[in-house]
Amino acid sequence: MTATDSTSLAETFPLEAFDIDGLQDEIRADRLCQQLLRRFAADLATGAGLPPAEAGALAHGADYFLREFMIDDRRENPFRLRAGRVRQFADTWYIIRNLEPNLAELTDLLEGVMAAYHYFGEQGLVSTDLAQQVRGECEDLEFYRERIESFWAIEEGGYPAWESRCSLKD
């Protein structure tokens, strides 16, 4: 909670408002997520004393995961995150959705995801267990390095075996 705002995040952003059952729900969840990430960045800059550019970079990383992957692609509530979703994002989705996937960019994104879920945990939007689970999945950088390298090494017909290690199919 910011020093100037007495309304809790749970009151401002009720978790059920991020449930997605159709296009209108997806639009609402996306808009609310933008607002939440602005608040996250502002709180990092004012409350945590981070430089605005650093706070913005963390919010950007979280934005890519929350809005592009969870809301747009998976069409799921990002506060009811299933185990392994961050790994699925970093291990497969990020790699196949980017022209030149690389560990430096992925690391920046995962730092934002980790910071956001830590913040969400502090604000009561997610459990501390979920925030810790996300942290663990975000910190597995050596595994993601190997996945990116193995992606670049795929030869003819090798994609199905590569993708099956962390499939996007539910």
> Which tokens in the block code for residue 94?
């990020």
Which pLDDT score, from 0 to 100, does residue 7 have?
66
Which pLDDT score, from 0 to 100, does residue 18 have?
95
pTM as predicted: 0.91
Burial 8-38 (b: 16+ CB within 10 A, else e): ebeeebeeeebebeeeebeebbbebbeebbe
Residue with tokens 């690391």: 107
For residue 5, give the amino acid letter: D
> Please, what is the angle between helix 23-46 and helix 103-122, to 10°?
90
CA–CA distance, 37 with 59 (Å, rounded to integer): 6
Which pLDDT score, from 0 to 100, does residue 1 have?
39
Low pLDDT (below 50) residues in the chain: 1-4
Residue-wise pLDDT for 125-135, tens only, equals 999 999 999 99
Residue-wise pLDDT for 62-97, tens only, equals 999 999 999 999 999 999 999 999 999 999 999 999
Which pLDDT score, from 0 to 100, does residue 65 have?
97
Which pLDDT score, from 0 to 100, does residue 166 have?
85
